[in-house]
């Protein structure tokens, strides 16, 4: 089996902008997003020994950042006196995808304590998806749940990539608002 090696010396140059954009789209605050990216790099360094090479380096860092975003919302919600969100970071499960979609009833999750919570989040997410405008819902499902390529979606729906990304952004923003209101 080939050894899988990380290259943290390249992380800032290769991934900082992507991670920042990912974070700021989810927390809507550039200072918090910068902090989350920095925390992601530190966590990546601290858990580098757990990198198995099953995913690309960027995908692995995104998985860490997802947990940082979840931790951020957990802290925010705890301060508001709301129920604590107990989706724990696990170094055993390095996976790719958008954190919101990724946490929904993950059949490969090794954390049995979160099964009920994942099912509840899955139901809440589905209810929120059902509230989206039809085209946004369709685009969101095709891109994030079915994993279709941008080109395939654009061809199938006869839209251009700019329209696709605007619809995805609006769908994700609406879903986060809906989930914050109804689940977190």
What confidence tens digit (pLDDT) does each residue in 19-31 have?
Answer: 998 888 888 888 9
pLDDT at 113: 45
Lowest-confidence region among 38-52, 112-126, 137-151: 112-126
Is 1-89 a CATH 1.10.1740.10 domain?
yes
Average pLDDT over residues 129-143: 89
User: Mean pLDDT in the chain?
Assistant: 76
pLDDT in tens, 48-81: 888 888 888 888 898 899 989 888 888 777 655 4
Question: From start to end of the chain, where are the E strands?
Answer: none
Model confidence at 184, pLDDT cuts 50, 70, 90, reads low
Mean pLDDT of all residues in 31-58? 89
Instruction: Tell which wins on pLDDT, 103 or 141.
Output: 141
Classify burial at 128, counting beta carbons within 10 Å of its beta carbon; exposed 0-12, middle 13-18, buried 19 or more.
buried
Which architecture does CATH list for 97-184?
A: Orthogonal Bundle (1.10)
Q: What is the DSSP letter of 48?
A: G
Q: In this structure, what DSSP letter does residue 85 have?
A: P
CA distance 15 to 60: 11
Q: Specify whether the CB–CB gap between 77 and 37 falls below 8 A.
A: no
């Amino acid at each position: 089996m080939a050894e899988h090696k990380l290259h943290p010396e390249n992380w800032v140059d290769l991934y900082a902008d992507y991670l920042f954009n990912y974070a700021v789209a989810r927390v809507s605050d550039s200072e918090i997003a910068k902090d989350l990216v920095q925390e992601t790099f530190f966590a990546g360094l601290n858990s580098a020994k757990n990198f198995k090479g099953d995913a690309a380096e960027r995908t692995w860092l995104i998985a860490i950042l997802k947990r940082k975003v979840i931790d951020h919302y957990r802290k925010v919600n705890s301060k508001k006196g709301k129920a604590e969100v107990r989706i724990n970071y696990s170094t055993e499960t390095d996976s790719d995808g958008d954190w919101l979609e990724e946490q929904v009833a993950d059949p490969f999750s090794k954390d049995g304590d979160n099964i009920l919570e994942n099912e509840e989040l899955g139901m809440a997410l589905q209810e929120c998806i059902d509230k989206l405008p039809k085209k946004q819902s369709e685009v969101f499902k095709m891109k994030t749940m079915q994993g279709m390529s941008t080109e395939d979606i654009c061809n199938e729906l006869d839209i251009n990539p700019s329209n696709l990304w605007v619809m995805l952004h609006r769908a994700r923003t609406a879903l986060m608002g809906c989930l914050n209101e109804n689940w977190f």
